[in-house]
Amino acid sequence: MATTAKRVKDAKKPKFKSRQHNRCQICGRPRAFLRKFGVCRLCFRGLALKGEIPGVVKSSW
């Protein structure tokens, strides 16, 4: 999703702390980031379906 240039730019330490932006560790997506897991909602859903995140189960009713 994110270009290599944007990933590298966000990896550098910003001049001011408020300029820091969280990115998904897998795809680099800047939005819908889950701090607890360090991934975006799309990657989180995929990992949860595969059972790779301990303690997370897909709900169905």
Domain boundaries, the chain: 4-10+20-50
pLDDT, one tens digit per residue, over 21-45 is 888 988 888 889 999 999 999 999 9
**What average pLDDT does this structure show over 41-58?**
88
Mean pLDDT, the chain, rounded, equals: 85
**How many Å apart are CA 32 and CA 5, to the nearest integer?**
20
- Annotated binding residue at 16? no
**How many Å apart are CA 3 and CA 5, to the nearest integer?**
5
- Annotated binding residue at 40? yes
**Whether the predicted pLDDT of 17 surpasses 70:** yes
Distance of CA 61 to the CA centre of its chain: 27
- Annotated binding residue at 43? yes
Query: Confidence band (pLDDT; 50, 70, 90) for 19?
Result: confident
In this predicted structure, what is the pLDDT of residue 1?
A: 63
pLDDT, one tens digit per residue, over 4-16 is 887 787 777 878 8
Q: What is the CATH number of domain 4-10+20-50?
A: 4.10.830.10
- Annotated binding residue at 27? yes
